[in-house]
Amino acid sequence: MKRTLAIKTSINQAYHQALSLLAQREHSALELTKKLSVKGYAIEEIEIVLVQLVQNNYQSDERFANAFVLMRINQGKGSVLINQQLKQKGIENFDLSTIDFFELASNVRIKKYGEQLPKNYKEKAKQQRFLQSRGFGFYEINQAFDCE
């Protein structure tokens, strides 16, 4: 009886800890699992907590992914980087096809370097490396220079 009570108390603490994390920002299930396991909760307890959070609509991977993608787009990040970061956070399938990354790459380039196209290869290569570091793909980068 005492062990059952201790488990329920531990699950209750994990639930409140997860709610506290979710009150700050959206988290994926994988993020919550990692953070709660670092705090010393057992995997079985974490799974029970995650089920409760999903049932109460406090945690949603889809809602997390939408917020995460919007944040990264506003930061001027590209599709390659966003996909990679989503996978690191436990989101395997997310449709980015509704977002115009070609226009975003062009806007990011213009914001950093101005509207005028680079005059020589060295300057163009510098701008291409910048866009690549922001996570844009090959075609998105080339389109950023062609559409003007």
Q: Which helix (H) or strand (E) holds 37?
A: helix 29-38
Q: Give how many domains the chain has, as a whole number.
A: 2
* Cβ atoms of residues 108 and 134 within 8 Å: yes
Give the separation between CA 134 and CA 60, rounded to whole angstroms. Answer: 27
Q: Are residue 64 and residue 128 in the same domain, yes or no?
A: yes
**pLDDT tens-place string over residues 70-102:** 999 999 999 999 999 999 999 998 899 999 999
Distance CA 133, CA 77 (A): 9
The dihedral sign for the CA sequence 35, 36, 42, 44: negative
Q: Are residues 77 and 7 in the same domain?
A: no
- Residues 107, 126, single domain; the answer is yes
Q: Are residues 74 and 143 in the same domain?
A: yes
Q: What is the pLDDT of residue 5?
A: 45
Range of the domain at 72: 60-148
Q: How far apart are CA 115 and CA 133, in angstroms?
A: 20
Boundary of a domain, candidates 13, 33, 59:
59
Between 6 and 1, the higher pLDDT residue: 6
Do 138 and 102 lie in one domain? The reply is yes
For residues 147 and 2, give the distance between their C-alpha atoms in angstroms, rounded to a whole number: 69
122 shares a domain with 53: no
The DSSP secondary structure of 100-145, one letter per residue, reads -HHHHHHHHHHHHH-SSPPSSHHHHHHHHHHHHHTT--HHHHHHHH
- Tokens at residue 120, please? 């020589």
Q: Looking at the structure, do residues 37 and 104 belong to the same domain, yes or no? A: no
More confident residue, 27 or 11: 27
Residues 24 and 95 in one domain: no
In b/e form, how buried is each residue of 24-37, taking b as 16+ CB within 10 angstroms? eebbbbbbbbeebe
- Same domain for 88 and 50? no
What single letter denotes the amino acid at residue 84? Q
Of 1-5, 47-51, 64-68, 108-112, least confident by mean pLDDT is: 1-5
DSSP character for 89? T
Region 31-40: what's the mean pLDDT?
94
Q: Please indicate, yes or no, whether residues 54 and 81 belong to a single structural domain of this protein.
A: no
Q: What is the CATH number of the domain that holds 44?
A: 1.10.10.10
- 30 and 102 belong to one structural domain: no
pLDDT of residue 7: 55
